[in-house]
Amino acid sequence: MNGSARFKLFLMMVLEFFIWGAWLPLIFGYLPSLGFTPAQQSAILNTFPIAAIVGMFFSNQFADRHFAAERFLAFSHFVGGLAMLGLAFTRAFWPFFGLMLVHCLLYVPTISITNSIAFAHMRDPQREFGIVRMGGTLGWILAAWPFTFILVDWDKVHAANPQGLVEWLGTVLASGLTGDALKAATRWTYIVAGIASLVLAAYSFLLPHTPPKKAGEAGVEKLAWLEAMKLLKHPYVLVLWLVTLVDAAVHNSYFNWTGVFLGTAREAGGVGIPGNWIMPVMSVGQIAEIFTMLILGVTLKRLGWRATMILGILGHAARFAVYAFFPQHQALIILVQILHGICYAFFFATVYIFVDTYFPKDARASAQGLFNMMILGIGALVANSVCPYLIQKVFTQNGVTDFRGLFLVPLIAALAAAVALALFFHPPKIERPQPRGAAAPAH
> At 278, which CATH number?
1.20.1250.20
Rounded Cα–Cα distance for residues 100 and 92 (Å): 12
Task: Provide the residue type at 73 as one letter.
Answer: L
- Inside any domain, residue 180: no
| Same domain? 246 vs 113 | no
| Same domain? 284 vs 202 | no
Residue 254 three-state SS: helix
**Residue 434 pLDDT grade (very low, low, confident, very high; cuts 50, 70, 90):** very low
- Inside any domain, residue 166: no
Domain containing 372 equals 221-437
| Same domain? 317 vs 287 | yes
Residue 150 has pLDDT above 70, yes or no: yes
| Same domain? 273 vs 305 | yes
Rounded Cα–Cα distance for residues 76 and 103 (Å): 8
Q: What string of DSSP letters covers 7-55?
A: HHHHHHHHHHHHHHHHHHHHHHHHHHHTT--HHHHHHHHTHHHHHHHHI
| Same domain? 203 vs 272 | no
pLDDT tens readout for residues 237-260? 999 999 999 999 999 999 999 999
| Same domain? 28 vs 78 | yes
**Residue 191 pLDDT grade (very low, low, confident, very high; cuts 50, 70, 90):** very high
| Same domain? 17 vs 133 | yes
Residue 40 has pLDDT above 50, yes or no: yes
Please, what is the Cα angle at 424 between 369 and 426, to 5 degrees? 70
| Same domain? 28 vs 102 | yes
pLDDT tens readout for residues 355-387? 877 776 666 666 777 888 889 899 999 999 999
pTM of the model: 0.83
Task: Mark out the alpha helices in 231-277 (DSSP H runs).
Answer: 235-263
